[in-house]
């Protein structure tokens, strides 16, 4: 810890997903043949029709600052998308376009939380939630779930976690890292609990919405009339459109929250990249059917990796319904010694796989669940087969 730096930054944990990806890159540069299953990043190229929209924008001289909260016609596209896919009606003042869904989430935490406000985070949660909350002075309240409830929080657990200091409930569905999806009925049951606590704002991170394998239909908390005025719906193009590096995310929110995010962003980034915004108009206006081929591929890979992992002793896998991660419980390996290395926890296990199988995964600790590791199957079938075969050998 460097005492010249602020307490704020010293209290932040580096992003485990990005750190593991960097470590894998480093090892690869040193000549090691690492298979990276750590980063949640589609291995597809951005579709041609979206790339063409960006090229057109460059040629059309889109080069000035954009409105802080996004181009008006991008907001039109977002309005169309929310109506078409989620039956949600927003007006322009309720929308903010940001530099990735990550910044959108950061903005919301900054404008809603005061020091000491509690945020209910069903575990496992996406790696950055707890640090984004802490950076805003909030206190993460982790609610443990397990593979037995498909990693979903029950209404009883939500009720038990709420205190007079609770200001937010924050989750992703489809969930990173578990792939679980809350059905409309399950969300309704959580909303029923929240009726008693009107001070609680819900952050519904729906960035994996389109990566859904057809078991449970996507549902949005804000689509319930009684939740609309206190739910922030977060989405983005990184995952379904293979646009991670373009860095565009957005929110639909109560006006007072959206305007506060706009004010914050005006002092921090001045708005998201202009060319990327132009490309995202095309991504959102066109039918999501155009990216279905990627989702079909992810679905095939999910079946493949589940079949392979279920053949290795000590991997207890849930069946992810969306996103592109499996989150196996690996506690059966704790306390065991392989090749002279004793595995005491999920971090040891992930490190062992990196060093002895040359496969990068992420420890579940980073997601608030120390029994599991996260494996991303946004990789080719050959890589998945080779990675699991190496894991099996390293553990035999
Ligand atoms: N939410 C979840 C659940 C994610 O997995 C990610 C990962 N990228 C984000 C938000 C951030 O998305 P973006 O790349 O648009 O910042
Ligand atoms: N969201 C992805 C993941 O969970 C990308 C990395 C990151 O943004 O942390 O791996």
Which residue's CA is the nearest one to ligand 1's atom 7?
40
Give CA–CA dist 276/23, Å, rounded: 28
pLDDT given for residue 14 in this prediction: 85
Distance (Å) from CA 334 to ligand 1 centroid: 30
Q: Is 15 in the pocket of ligand 2 (CB under 6 A)?
A: yes
Residue written as token pair 């087969």: 385
Q: Given CA atoms 254, 134, 7, 268 in this order, what sign does their dihedral have?
A: negative
Distance from Cα 284 to the centre of ligand 2, integer Å: 21
Q: Which residues of 119-142 are buried (b: 16+ CB within 10 A; e: fewer)?
A: bbbbbbbbbbbbbbbbbbebbbbb
Q: What is the distance between the alpha carbons of residues 218 and 238, in angstroms, rounded to a whole number? A: 18
Instruction: Tell me, using a 6 A CB cutoff, whether residue 174 lines ligand 2.
Output: no
- Ligand 2: atom nearest CA of 38 is 10
List 233's β-bridge partners, or say none.
204, 252
Ligand 1 centroid to Cα of residue 160, in Å, is 28
Give the whole-angstrom CA distance, residue 284 versus residue 47.
13
Q: What is the pLDDT of residue 17?
A: 87
Can you give the pLDDT of all 396 residues of the chain as single tens digits?
Answer: 889 999 999 999 888 888 888 888 899 999 999 999 999 999 999 999 999 999 999 999 999 999 999 999 999 999 999 999 999 999 999 999 999 999 999 999 999 999 999 999 999 999 999 999 999 999 999 999 988 899 999 999 999 999 999 999 999 999 999 999 999 999 999 999 999 999 999 999 999 999 999 999 999 999 999 999 999 999 999 999 999 999 999 999 999 999 999 999 999 999 999 999 999 999 999 999 999 999 999 999 999 999 999 999 999 999 999 999 999 999 999 999 988 889 999 999 999 999 999 999 999 999 999 999 999 999 999 999 999 999 999 998
Handedness of CA 332, 298, 283, 63 (dihedral sign): positive
Does residue 349 contact residue 107 with C-beta atoms inside 8 Å?
Answer: no
How far is the centre of ligand 2, averaged over its atoms, from the C-alpha of 152 (Å)? 20
Distance 36 CA to ligand 1 centre (A): 18
pLDDT at position 113, please? 98
Q: Which of 102, 174, 298, 374 to mutate to test the pocket of ligand 1 (most atoms within 8 A of CB)?
A: 102
Q: Which ligand is nearest to the CA of 124?
A: 1
DSSP string, 77-102: HHHHHHHHHH-----GGGEEEESHHH
Q: Is the CB of 236 under 6 A from ligand 1?
A: yes
């Amino acid at each position: 810890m460097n005492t010249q730096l602020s307490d704020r930054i010293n209290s932040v944990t580096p992003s485990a997903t990005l750190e593991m990806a960097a470590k894998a890159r480093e090892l690869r540069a040193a000549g090691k043949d690492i298979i990276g299953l750590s980063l949640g990043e589609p291995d597809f190229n951005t579709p041609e029709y979206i790339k063409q929209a960006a090229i057109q924008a460059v040629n059309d001289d889109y080069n000035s600052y954009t409105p802080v909260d996004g181009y008006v016609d991008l907001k039109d596209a977002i309005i169309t998308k929310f109506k078409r896919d989620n039956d949600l009606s927003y007006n322009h003042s309720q929308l903010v376009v940001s530099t990735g869904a990550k910044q959108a989430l950061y903005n919301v935490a900054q404008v809603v939380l005061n020091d000491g406000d509690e945020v209910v985070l069903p575990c496992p949660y996406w790696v950055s939630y707890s640090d984004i909350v802490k950076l805003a002075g909030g206190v993460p309240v982790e609610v443990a779930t397990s593979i037995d409830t498909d990693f979903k929080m029950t209404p009883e657990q939500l009720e038990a976690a709420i205190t007079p200091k609770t200001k937010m409930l924050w989750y992703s569905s489809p969930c990173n890292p578990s792939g679980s999806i809350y059905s409309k009925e399950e969300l309704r049951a959580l909303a029923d609990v929240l009726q008693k606590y009107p001070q609680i704002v819900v952050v519904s991170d729906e960035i994996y919405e389109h990566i859904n394998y057809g078991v449970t239909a996507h549902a949005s908390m804000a689509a319930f009339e009684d939740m609309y005025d206190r739910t922030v719906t977060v989405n983005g193009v990184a995952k379904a459109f293979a646009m991670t590096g373009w860095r565009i995310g957005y929110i639909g929110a109560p006006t007072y929250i959206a305007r506060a995010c706009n004010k914050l962003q005006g002092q921090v980034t001045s708005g998201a990249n202009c060319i990327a915004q132009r490309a995202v108009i095309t991504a959102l206006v066109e039918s999501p059917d155009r990216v279905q081929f990627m989702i079909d591929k992810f679905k095939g890979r999910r079946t493949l990796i589940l079949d392979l992992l279920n053949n290795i002793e000590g991997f207890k896998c849930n069946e992810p319904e969306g996103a592109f991660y499996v989150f196996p419980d690996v506690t059966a390996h704790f306390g065991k010694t392989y090749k002279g290395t004793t595995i005491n926890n999920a971090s040891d296990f992930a490190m062992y796989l990196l060093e002895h199988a040359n496969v990068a995964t992420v420890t579940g600790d980073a997601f608030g669940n120390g029994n599991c590791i996260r494996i991303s199957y946004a990789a080719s079938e050959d890589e998945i087969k080779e990675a699991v075969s190496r894991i099996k050998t390293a553990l035999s």
